[in-house]
Amino acid sequence: MDALCHRNGVKKLKLNMTKDGTYKLPSYIFNCPTLTHLKLFNCNFKLPNSFLGLQTLTVLRLEKITFVPAIEFYTINVPLLVKLTIDLCDGTQYLNIVFSSELKSLVVHESHYNLDPSNNFFKKCKKLTDLYLVIDNPIPADNRLTLEKLLFSSPTLETLCLGKFELELLTAGVVPKRLPCTLNCLWHLYLDVNFNKLGQTSYTLELIKSFPNFRDLEIWDKTTDDIVEGVMKYLDTPSCLDKTLNKLEDVSIHSFNYSKVVLYFVKLLFAHASSLSRMSIYPDKASNSKEELNVATELMRFPRVSPKAELIYHPNEELD
């Protein structure tokens, strides 16, 4: 296989092993001089001692990879890398990917925060167009500035996805006065939001106000608790959304759970999005048909500043 890799000039390689995660990557993968696309799934990762980097690689995807414990970082030099995806890997605290400033797409989905901001991982991200960052557990508070720098150091950013713990970290539980800068190129915003958290709700609205050209808003509703009075009070103040959203066209809310605070959020968007074409609501699976009917009726009654705004409700089952 090593000889074939060199002789045939392999450019794209995808390895998807069984889910037991016991397959150890062979060394020839790290020595292929023509490789441009590398996608690895369910493997054990250990670099050879003579590893000099993947000099021709432009696309790297690592999913459910286990990085074998090491005394020092695994340093992977990828000077031509354009797209990097790390999805639910173990041992990323041993990982140090050194890329150039040409990186366009960064996707990180981790169950725990294992990415050490002291290494080079988040450096040189100056030309990102797509950033997807979702950590499924709380992030240490001292990483706030690192995250903020990552978000607002790429003026070319077009698509941004953040999880609820990223929002919680960025707000520190308080209502932000303003964001560090405006991202004029961003057009697609994807957020996981617990609307009963004042910080997450307020930061969501600040993000919406700070991207003057964004057209698509996609939200996964993570609200779990009963109504919080402080959040409703905040949403009822004119300053929470004090501008017309004249570019927003498409809104999707998934796992919609009928909380009053989420309904109020939808009402705000209807009232301020002058170019809105579609508001798509996907209810939570735990809902019942009677509850769906009542909420759908309430949604239909919300006033809309856009004459072409259409409400599309996707029920879990046929309503009686």
Tens digit of pLDDT at every position of the chain (320 positions):
444 455 557 889 888 887 665 677 777 777 788 899 999 998 887 777 666 678 899 999 999 888 876 656 677 888 899 999 999 888 877 777 888 788 999 998 987 766 555 545 566 677 899 999 898 888 877 777 778 777 777 888 999 999 988 888 888 756 666 666 678 899 999 999 999 888 889 889 988 988 889 999 999 999 876 667 788 899 989 888 988 999 999 999 999 888 889 999 999 999 999 999 999 999 886 666 677 778 888 889 999 999 999 999 887 644 33
Q: Rounded distance, CA 127 to CA 156, Å?
A: 6
Whether 304 is covered by a domain: the verdict is yes
66: three-class secondary structure by DSSP: strand
Whether 298 is covered by a domain: the verdict is yes
Please give the angle made by the CA atoms of 231, 145 and 71, to the nearest 5 degrees: 125
Whether 42 is covered by a domain: the verdict is yes
Whether 319 is covered by a domain: the verdict is no
Whether 320 is covered by a domain: the verdict is no
Q: Report DSSP state, residue 288.
A: -
Yes or no: say if 235 and 272 are a contact pair by the CB < 8 Å rule: no
CATH number of the domain encompassing residue 170:
3.80.10
Whether 292 is covered by a domain: the verdict is yes
Q: What's the predicted TM-score (pTM) here?
A: 0.86
Q: Rounded distance, CA 130 to CA 154, Å?
A: 10
In the chain, the number of structural domains is: 1
Q: Which residues have CB under 8 Å from 138's CB, separation 6+?
A: 113, 165, 168, 169
User: What DSSP assignment string belongs to 110-173?
Assistant: ESS----TTSSTTTT--S-SEEEEEESSPPPGGGHHHHHHHHHS-TT--EEEE-HHHHHHHHTT
Domain membership of residue 121 as a residue range = 2-313
Whether 211 is covered by a domain: the verdict is yes
Whether 240 is covered by a domain: the verdict is yes
Q: Rounded distance, CA 278 to CA 203, Å?
A: 23
